[in-house]
Amino acid sequence: MYFKQILDERCGCASYLIASRGSHEAAIVDPAVETQQYDALLAERNFRLRYVIDTHVHADHVSGARDLRAKHGAELCLHESAQVTYPIRPLKDGEELPLGQLRLRVLRTPGHRLELISILIINPPRSPEPSMVLTGDSLLVGDVGRPDFGGGDAAAQYESLSRLLRLPDWVAVFPGHFEGPCGKGMCGRPSTTIGFERLYNPLARLDRAAFIATLTDGVPARPLNMTAIEATNRGLAEMPWAMLTSTPPVREIDIGALEARPPDAVVLDVREPEEYAHGHVPGAVSLPQADLASRLDEVPRDRPILTVCERGIRSLRAAQFLTQVGITQVASVNGGTAAWRGAGKPVSFGDTALEKSRVAESEWTHAGARSSYRI
């Protein structure tokens, strides 16, 4: 067997190449949008790509599955419940995909997403038992995948975690994420074992009620450009450019500069609507980071743009994305709304729909400033 974990440091995602050294058949699981790395590896090892598998419809990065299928003639596999517009090989729970002497067994583990599966890797010449499991965004190292990306269910996540933890201790766990927004408690390691997680994953020690309460507590921050990325992965849009693929330098300003901003500057609050409604910088416009790419035509290109979030992390990534797509008058507010509030500055409250109406009436967007990017 050949096995390789490929880490993407920009989005904190992991993809996998599994192959039989005997038959030279290969499978790629959860591929990144940049597929040249897989092409090179397949050519170098003289592997033939038989399957490309997405464990679920991703919401934080664009999948390269369709590109790999087109280039290599592989079968594109998703669980049968996946809601996509393109043809797939629908997988069922317990189904096995032959890969030379290897077997890839489908284990349905919904929760983060309805269609989420894990993949058990079995090498019968060595053992009838699985030696590895690719868990996608179900079981992470020290955490589990969030159930609030759309179509998720915390109760189903509890059942899926329980199912995974019934596997033998020795089974090596390779998740779809090692950092990023998918889980707030990930420790950063790219792999673990079932035995270790059963003992030391804090969520594994909770009963059902406490588990659900923990996963549904607080206001979830959806990933940058989630709306456009998910639509692309479902086949409803073609917006691979919605991925943040660079880290361009962005000017950062403090709250003093925010307060003294020029009158034509537009302040974009990229937090979730609920966060915005519970207190925001007066005059700020609510445009959640999850919707930034799909609403890019609302962002003027002829006025200064100041992005703000709670503490400055989301706003920096949003500013980097705006810079990446060619909007140059951008700055991120260091310290965010928390610093503004902590300095005793006034805050506004209210529903985002009312704020959008007010903004529309003030005509902060101009026809000449609209971009051509749309879903």
Q: What stretch of H or E contains 22?
A: none
How many whole angstroms separate alpha carbon 302 and alpha carbon 147? 39
Is 309 part of the annotated catalytic residue set?
Answer: yes
Of 19, 28, 30, residue with least CA distance to 74:
28
Residue 19 pairs in a beta bridge with 2, 26
- The DSSP secondary-structure symbol of 344 reads T
How far are the Cα atoms of 11, 76, 119, 140 from residue 144, in angstroms, in the given order?
Answer: 17, 26, 16, 5
How many whole angstroms separate alpha carbon 205 and alpha carbon 143? 11
Q: What is the DSSP string of 285-321?
A: EE--GGGTTTTGGGS-SSS-EEEE-SSSHHHHHHHHH
Q: Which of 11, 13, 77, 309 is catalytic?
A: 309
- Catalytic residue positions? 309
